[in-house]
Amino acid sequence: MDGANIESNYFRVNLFNGVCIAYIDCNIDISHEMKPKGTVVLIHGFPETSWAFRKVIPTIANAGYRVIAPDYRGAGESSKPSSGFTKAIMAADIIALLDHLDIDERVHVVGHDIGGIIAFVLASRWPERVVSACLSECLLPGSNTYTNQLSENPVEYFHFNFHCVDNLPEALILGREKLYIDYFINRRCYRIGAFPPDIITRYAHSLSQPGALRCALDLYRSLDKDAGDTREWVSQHGKCQIPCMVLSGEHSSYGQHAERMALEVVDKPYLTSTIVKGSGHFIPEENPSGFSESWKVLQG
């Protein structure tokens, strides 16, 4: 399994809910006579696409797993609907994709950044479909830690507020997608070499597609609703009881509060946490081997 195989295993499907989802689907190499170990779903964050896992997918697939890496709704080559950006709806998209692919066994879900919120919702609301959840570098709306971090560190998390302002972000970013993504990534990563110009250009091209910027901003404009949904869910159903791991980059500020935040919504016996060395916020791209190895610890 290599980068060329990843590109050739990039597909698009219209789901029953009317949303078109593009996804990478890499199966194990049966020529190695390796016994399949299950399915791993990788969910990217902002401002990336499924391509963020290009260096992770071969490692996981070669270890015996089928890997599904979707562009979530509004990103990459997926459709750009006018609504539906609560993380519960986006998690339901993943369930619909699994149903389309006839994957009915429980899957390992791994989410980074915004994708981590979606992964948490999947594990909480569809525990019968999830074996484990890995939450990489994500804030969890609905926790007190999330609320406190946004208020105590307004510059660090400036985009959570900026992206929610009506119309202004579109006016300032439109036509300057590459400049914005370059700034956004480089201020939050440790290993700058992980993002060569062609990768920045790829993400900028995705964000410049018609409707993509609006969709990206709506991810953040829906976070207040996500927070309320999580508080209500935990109040009615209790904390998540699926094995979860929180991943934090060694040079990222998330690690200071990641475990405390997760404990607000995940039962303690089900939670582990790990720091990935040599990485800032964008772990799958800054240290893909550390990302993969940390996740495999969760599998025992």
List 274's β-bridge partners, or say none.
247
Computed over every residue of the chain, the mean pLDDT equals 94
Q: What is the pLDDT of residues 265-295, one digit of tens each?
A: 999 999 999 999 999 999 999 999 999 988 7
In this predicted structure, what is the pLDDT of residue 35? Answer: 77
**Mean pLDDT score, 100-109:** 96
In this predicted structure, what is the pLDDT of residue 5? Answer: 75
What lies within 8 Å, CB to CB, of 8 at 6+ separation is: none
Of 126 and 253, which is predicted with more confidence? Answer: 126
Torsion from C-alpha of 247, 248, 250, 254, nearest 10 degrees: -170
Rounded to 5 degrees, what angle do the CA atoms 43, 273, 265 make? 70
Q: Is the pLDDT of residue 32 over 70?
A: no
Q: Is the pLDDT of residue 2 over 80?
A: no
Of 2 and 61, which is predicted with more confidence? Answer: 61
Q: Is the pLDDT of residue 152 over 90?
A: yes
Fold of 3-298: Rossmann fold (3.40.50)
Q: Closest by alpha carbon to 217, among 243, 244, 180?
A: 180
Q: What is the pLDDT of residues 120-134, one digit of tens each?
A: 999 999 999 999 999
Torsion from C-alpha of 268, 270, 271, 272, nearest 10 degrees: 130
Q: Is the pLDDT of residue 30 over 60?
A: no
In this predicted structure, what is the pLDDT of residue 15? Answer: 93
What pTM did the predictor assign? 0.96
Q: Would you place residue 26 in the very low, low, confident or very high pLDDT band (cuts 50, 70, 90)?
A: very high
In this predicted structure, what is the pLDDT of residue 296? Answer: 73
- Residue 208: phi and psi, rounded to 5, are -90, -5
List 112's β-bridge partners, or say none.
136
Cα distances from 80 to residues 153, 214, 215, in angstroms, run 31, 9, 7
Torsion from C-alpha of 287, 293, 296, 300, nearest 10 degrees: -150
**Strand 244-249 relative to strand 130-136, pairing:** parallel
To the nearest whole percent, how much of the chain has pLDDT over 90? 87
Instruction: List the domain boundaries for the chain.
Output: 3-298
**Mean pLDDT score, 35-61:** 94
What DSSP element (H or E) covers 122?
helix 114-125
Length of the chain: 300
Of 6 and 249, which is predicted with more confidence? Answer: 249
**Mean pLDDT score, 183-188:** 94
In this predicted structure, what is the pLDDT of residue 211? Answer: 97
Q: Could you give the CA distance from residue 204 to residue 207 in angstroms, rounded to a whole number?
A: 5
Q: Which residues of 111-147 are buried (b: 16+ CB within 10 A; e: fewer)?
A: bbbbbbbbbbbbbbbbeebbbbbbbbbbbbbbbebbe
Q: Which two tokens stand for residue 76?
A: 């990459």
Q: How many CB atoms lie within 10 A of CB 241?
A: 14
